[in-house]
Amino acid sequence: MNRPLLLTQEHFAPFGTLLTQPLSAPSLERGDITFWNATADLSGLSGSGVTGHLIAHRRELMLTQIERHLHTPEAFIATAGRSLMVVGKPGDLDPEALCVFEMAAGQAVLLHPGSWHWAPFPLTETATFLLILRAETSEHDIEIQDMPAHRLEPRAPVDHSPTSPGPSP
């Protein structure tokens, strides 16, 4: 496993789709909005899609388990914080081929069915995500495997200072 990669569509393509503003022309452009339709294929949700809200808490940057969902894509939409996301291609687990991406608020990915992953590792006190997945995933479509411990390394130094909510608007 290497140091975290820059989160680009090219780097992330083997694991899923980077959910970002397309480079193509918008479907609709008018004075109040610019809109791109059908930017990701969610047909794998089979009509049972749900959202989830995930708050990942800062912890040791040590990966010891990994999971996958064979029958559903899963979207991670970062809404707050910075984190490391570990992913592997669908198929047999190869710990040496896992990739690490640094995600920031405003970035999002859609994992292919079967892509290996684990809960993001925050580089800030917490990192918050909106998830999109099939309703049945957590009960009927989850495979978790233990793996040899691997220490993750961020692209830049981690800020361990206490976080402050900042001034009120």
pLDDT tens by residue, 95-143: 999 999 999 999 999 999 999 999 999 999 999 998 998 888 888 899 9
Cα 148 vs. chain centroid, distance in angstroms? 22
28 part of a folded domain: no
Q: What domain range is 89 assigned to?
A: 9-19+49-151
Distances (CA, A) of 117 to 16, 38, 92, 132: 11, 25, 13, 15
Residue 15 scores a pLDDT above 80: yes
Q: Is residue 44 part of a domain?
A: no
In Å, what is the CA distance from 52 to each residue of 58, 68, 89, 102, 131?
19, 17, 23, 21, 5
Q: Does residue 108 lie within any of the structural domains? A: yes
Indicate whether 72 belongs to any domain. yes
Q: What are phi and psi of 27, to 5 degrees?
A: -70, -35
Q: Which of 99, 93, 102, 101 is nearest to 147 (CA)?
A: 93
- Whether 74 is covered by a domain: the verdict is yes
Per cent of the chain over pLDDT 70 is 91
Domain count, the chain: 1
Q: Is 36 contained in some domain?
A: no
Q: Please check whether residue 157 lies inside any domain of the structure.
A: no
Can you point out the beta strands (E) in 30-142?
34-35, 49-57, 62-68, 74-80, 82-88, 99-104, 108-111, 116-117, 121-122, 126-134
pLDDT given at position 156? 64
What is the model's pLDDT at position 136? 84
Residue 37 lies inside a defined structural domain of this protein: no
Q: What CATH number should be reported for the domain holding residue 144?
A: 2.60.120.480
**Could you tell me the pTM of the whole model?**
0.77
